[in-house]
Amino acid sequence: MTPEIIHGSLAVIGAGLVTIGAAIGIGKIGAAAMDGIARQPDAANKIQTAMLIVAALIEGIALFSAVICFIAINS
């Protein structure tokens, strides 16, 4: 195997790990938000807003990391 093939394979594995990590993070945020809303239904709007902001930040980091992995494939 050439170093380019190994380098590209590692970048693809990295992109997959980024996707799995983001999915786990968003799942934990959703579960915690549902738990918080179940405990205090009157705070649902504040909890939902905070949940969406954090989920968007996680998605941004995941997208940035995936782009870095895909750039590494081409270099």
The percent of residues above 90 in pLDDT, for the chain, comes to: 57
Does residue 64 surpass a pLDDT of 70? yes
Q: What is the pLDDT of the chain when averaged over all its residues?
A: 88
What architecture is domain 3-74? Up-down Bundle (1.20)
The 10 Å CB-count burial string (b at 16+, else e) for 13-24 is: ebbeebeeebee
Q: How far apart are CA 61 and CA 64, in angstroms?
A: 5
Provide the pLDDT for residue 4. Answer: 67
Q: Is 55 within 8 Å of 26 (Cβ atoms)?
A: yes
Does residue 20 surpass a pLDDT of 80? yes
